[in-house]
Structure 1
Amino acid sequence: MPPSPLPLDADRERAARPPDADPGAALDDTELAVARAALAQGRWQSVRSLLARTGDDWDRRGHRVVVLALEPYAAAWAHEWLLAEPGCADAGVLLALAQVRRTLRGKEDPAGARAACRDAAALAPADPTPWLGLLMLERDGSADAVRIFEEVRARHRDHHHAHHLMVALLAERRAAAGPDPLHEVYDFAAWAAEQAPADSPLAILPIVAHAERYHALAVRGLAPADPTTAAHWRDHRSRDVMKAAFDWWLEWEHDGHPRRLVDLNYLAHAKVCEGRPAEAAPLFHRIGEHVTPAPWSYPDRDPYAAFRAARDGALGIDAGRAP
């Protein structure tokens, strides 16, 4: 794989309101939304049932545990669950990811969160989710970040969230040097897409790489703050990448993937930035109200306002009336 990444806040969720307070984080997973509401009331038994049903669907398990960990008292309830059921792998991984979230909010010692992830990994050696938690904690490009990513891939080669995190890390590399059409983040995304099966949503990863690289440049003033005016989205590479990703979506759209709405948000954003609202329109229909803060917040915008403006423009909705 390409060289290891440089420093980055691994959580990457830049929103106008804190992601921890976002009730839409479950996306269209209604079972997850119900379990999260129960957990907020201390009813961890609903989470136990949900994760038991999820089994080894690793992308879905990772998505569900990450969202459940957003609850402010998730760590406390997971600890109570673990006391009631010592050695429970599901309780251990929820506790670990909740401590990761607390660490990313500055409320937990990173060493404690890392120890919790390692404990969870010991309880369930085949589960990539504890390693995902460790990857979320990585803030530099040390060999540890690459090693952790490879631990995730060893358990689930096409892990969606882990690949997104690695793209975000790589996109920051040498950002201060300005645009570079040969930047390694593009190579990494292309490599991952090529390694994945033909029907894998990792086919969208080159779009994610383009958005993350735009963000890295724009926050440094090296790309326009309005992404729709950035040449970044209209060069030869970006046109090829966006056509390939859109064509893949037309042929292989997966209604069942737990994080497909993340990909659709990235793809719709790219099509709007490319100046192709007609191609963005069917994507907005699929997205509905399931907005993801990234990439609509890039570089420092209100993601919900940016999404609504882009959607209304693509669908021809009068901004003066309610959609």
Structure 2
Amino acid sequence: MAFLSSRRRRARLAPELDDQDLGKLLKSLVATTRTGTIATTELCVAQMSRLLEQDPGDWDRRTHRLDVLAGYLVGSHLPRSWATREPGNADALVLQAWTQVAQARAQGRLEDPAGTVEMCLRAAELAPEDPTPWVALLALSRLERRPQSEVFAVWNEVLARDRWNREAYLNMLSYLSPDEGGSRIQVLEFVDTLRARVPANAPCVGTELTAQVDQYHSILDRGGVEALVARNHWSHVTAAQALDRAAHSWIQPGFLRHAKALADLNLLAYALVAADRRAEARSVFEVIGGVVTAWPWQAGGDPVTEFETTRQKATAGT
């Protein structure tokens, strides 16, 4: 039955996760994004526009789609072409801004911060109920290491429109981390606050476990004896309780319904194996099937290879 069939599923990177419409669009763009003809540009723009117009008001799904499209289109002419042709289209503007931020993450700098900020604000003006221009602006503010007063102001704009926006919470978690100018204490305070307020199946529910995996990785990065006993991190009360809560509820049928649920399940499987809780990890891998997310698996090398190796360890003997 289940575990054996799960093990036979070919692992693959799938940024769209289980969003079939987004997956179809990405496949369609593969053959056309490398050409610069007017016809292919118009076709791609029409396809992207159609997808982003689906499910109005489903901000969680919209955020996921914009995030994936922006990452996919880094280096492509399409977002700029669309925004240039339709400067009054909020979808075009926010996709262009989000793509610029994604490219800046890869390059280490933003070419035109003021222009990107203006694009986000214009999109927010055109679509005042939409949180995604503010999510893009939050990611930009984090990248630019803007003062906390400015960042929290943008953060509040997101929450006013989408209380549990997953990307916003993860951006804030990273912004408050020691790696980006914050501190471990600020991370702990942030996680403590959200643990008390966030519904158990909210789109941002993975933030707490993300913080624990980040801390685990920081221990591994130190090397030496600390890295050798990094597994002990998962025996600490806060880490063990975070893992317990996720392992108990996330794989229950229908519990997680947000667009990036499979990404959170990848995170859970990774953490369970890191904590040597392989029996629990088996059920998570069964639910995941072969859908692999780059993070956190890429911390150990090629994400698909790491996923496959870890899945084999978890399911050995079943």
TM-score normalized with structure 2 length:
0.80
Find the aligned partners of 1:104 and 1:151 in 2 and give their Cα distance: 23
Residue aligning to 1:246: 247
Instruction: Deviation per CA, 1:222-251: give whole Å up to 9, x if none.
Output: 88557x843112212211221122223245
Structure 2, gaps ≥5 residues long: 1-11, 33-40
Residue aligning to 1:38: 28
Residue aligning to 2:152: 146
Find the aligned partners of 2:205 and 2:214 in 1 and give their Cα distance: 16
Instruction: Deviation per CA, 1:31-79: give whole Å up to 9, x if none.
Output: 1122233345232111111111131211110110111112346763234
Opposite residue 138 of structure 2, the aligned amino acid is: L
Find the aligned partners of 1:202 and 1:81 in 2 and give their Cα distance: 30
Q: 1:169 to 1:82 in 2, by over 3 A?
A: closer
Q: 1:176 to 1:189 in 2, by over 3 A?
A: closer
Residue aligning to 2:275: 274
2:220 to 218, 221, 239: 218
Residue aligning to 2:311: 311
Structure 1, gaps ≥5 residues long: 1-21, 319-323
Residue aligning to 2:67: 66
Alignment of 1:118-267 (within 5 A): 118-137=121-140, 138-139=142-143, 140=145, 142-143=147-148, 144-172=150-178, 183-221=185-223, 224-225=226-227, 229-251=230-252, 253-254=254-255, 256-267=257-268
Structure 1 position 175, deviation (Å):
9.9
Find the aligned partners of 2:277 and 2:63 in 1 and give their Cα distance: 33
Structure 1 position 314, deviation (Å):
0.8
Find the aligned partners of 2:88 and 2:303 in 1 and give their Cα distance: 40
TM-score normalized with structure 1 length:
0.79
Residue aligning to 1:112: 115
Q: How many residue pairs were aligned?
A: 291
Residue aligning to 1:28: 18
Structure 1 position 214, deviation (Å):
2.2
What is the identity percentage for the equivalent residue pairs of Structure 1 and Structure 2? Answer: 33
Opposite residue 31 of structure 1, the aligned amino acid is: D
Q: 1:73 to 1:238 in 2, by over 3 A?
A: closer
Q: How large is the RMSD of aligned CA atoms in angstroms?
A: 3.0
